[in-house]
Amino acid sequence: MDQDAPFNSHRRQHEPTCLPGTRVDLLQDIDNWADGEDPQPIFWLHGLVGTGKSTIARTVARRYFDQNQLGASFFFSQSTKTVENFVTSIAFQLAENVPALRPHIADTISQYGDIATMSLRDQWRILILDPLSKLQLNSQHAPFILIVDALDECEDSDIQTILDMLTKDRLLTLNKLRIFIASRPQILIQYGISHLDSSYYTSFDLHRIPRSIVDYDITIFLEHSLKGMKEDYSLDSRWPGEENIKSMVQKSQAYLSGLQLPAISCAKEGSNLQSKDSMLF
Ligand SMILES: Nc1ncnc2c1ncn2[C@@H]1O[C@H](COP(=O)(O)OP(=O)(O)OP(=O)(O)O)[C@@H](O)[C@H]1O
Ligand SMILES: [Mg+2]
């Protein structure tokens, strides 16, 4: 079990979810997919560095955890990039989150005492595929969701193994698990997913979002962040003003299709700034 990998692990507790009012359409698309409106069992969200993938993945994880539909989540990161515990961690969470699956997972563990030392592929078959195929879900029951973020952080050989496991026909035809993968468009992942049968996956490129929607989200983000700064620094109530916000949104266009705003982080660190507007630019 990798204690840091689940979205709500102790180490990740301060990592943010989407600010209310942002990513509205995309989150709705993901909800529709998760609730079974789209038949494809895999949703691949991709975008370049800092475009907000992990924030969206956390938001989805939180929402489905709260409604008892999250099967498991595994967030890779610089510090959680090892894959040894990938399968055991997912099995452990599935056993916790899906009570009907628990006895099947417990059975296999009692049969294979040395499971943690087996290859990941064997672990996957024994701990995940076999128990899931025994799970009886009432036909009305929505599938459980598995969320995997930042697969691109792993070594190439591990990416390959994990993709092979996640895209097994035997898993995808079960209709009991929906798999949400968020990553940079790393070549192996892109190749691995785009070569699947189109009935198995749907994908979303964060760069495809129209500029006007990105600008709207950035405006919400800026207003929220600068409100906090205004309070921290006891600034004039009219600060920063609509024009300054517009100008920052415009400047941010050079950087992103997400909400990573270098200006904000610089400003937050600038405790000895001379003028209040120098905090913005
Ligand atoms: N919808 C949002 N609401 C509030 N903040 C956001 C939102 N989306 C992104 N951010 C902020 O933007 C920054 C970058 O987002 P995030 O870490 O999710 O990007 P990423 O695409 O996962 O990047 P990487 O490719 O490096 O993993 C974070 O600081 C995050 O808090
Ligand atoms: Mg990320």
Ligand lying closest to the C-alpha of residue 49 = 1
At residue 228, the pLDDT reads 82
At residue 102, the pLDDT reads 95
At residue 262, the pLDDT reads 41
Is residue 162 within 8 Å of 81, Cβ to Cβ?
no
At residue 281, the pLDDT reads 53
Instruction: Give the predicted TM-score (pTM) of the model.
Output: 0.88
> Using CA positions, which residue lies closest to atom 29 of ligand 1?
260
Ligand lying closest to the C-alpha of residue 18 = 1
Q: Which atom of ligand 1 is nearest to the CA of 23?
A: 1
Q: Which atom of ligand 1 is nearest to the CA of 206?
A: 21
At residue 136, the pLDDT reads 82
Q: Which residues contact 110 (CB under 8 A, 6 or more apart)?
A: none
Distance 31 CA to ligand 1 centre (A): 19
For the chain, which domains are there? 10-208 (3.40.50.300), 211-279 (no CATH)
Distance 226 CA to ligand 2 centre (A): 23
Instruction: Please list the rounded mean pLDDT of every run of 10 residues in the chain (281 residues).
Output: 86 92 95 86 95 96 96 90 90 94 92 90 95 83 92 94 94 90 96 94 93 88 84 82 84 61 44 50 53
At residue 241, the pLDDT reads 84
At residue 277, the pLDDT reads 59
Residue among 96, 44, 109 at smallest CA distance from 70: 96
Report the interhelical angle of 242-252 vs 262-269 (nearest 10°). Answer: 120
Q: Which two tokens stand for residue 69?
A: 């539909």
Q: Which atom of ligand 1 is nearest to the CA of 260?
A: 12
Q: How far apart are CA 39 and CA 32, in angstroms?
A: 10
Choose the residue to mutate in 260, 265, 269 for probing ligand 1, maximizing ligand atoms within 8 Å of C-beta: 260
Distance 100 CA to ligand 2 centre (A): 32
Choose the residue to mutate in 259, 261, 265, 266 for probing ligand 1, maximizing ligand atoms within 8 Å of C-beta: 259
If DSSP codes are grouped into helix, strand and coil, which group holds residue 142?
A: coil
> Using CA positions, which residue lies closest to atom 9 of ligand 1?
52
Residue among 188, 265, 276 at smallest CA distance from 230: 276
Q: Which residues contact 183 (CB under 8 A, 6 or more apart)?
A: 44, 45, 46, 53, 149, 150, 151, 152, 189
Q: How far apart are CA 158 and CA 241, in angstroms?
A: 49
Distance 6 CA to ligand 1 centre (A): 17
Q: Which residues line ligand 1 (CB under 6 A)?
A: 16, 18-19, 22-23, 47, 49-55, 150, 184, 221, 258-260
Ligand lying closest to the C-alpha of residue 221 = 1
Q: Which atom of ligand 1 is nearest to the CA of 48?
A: 25
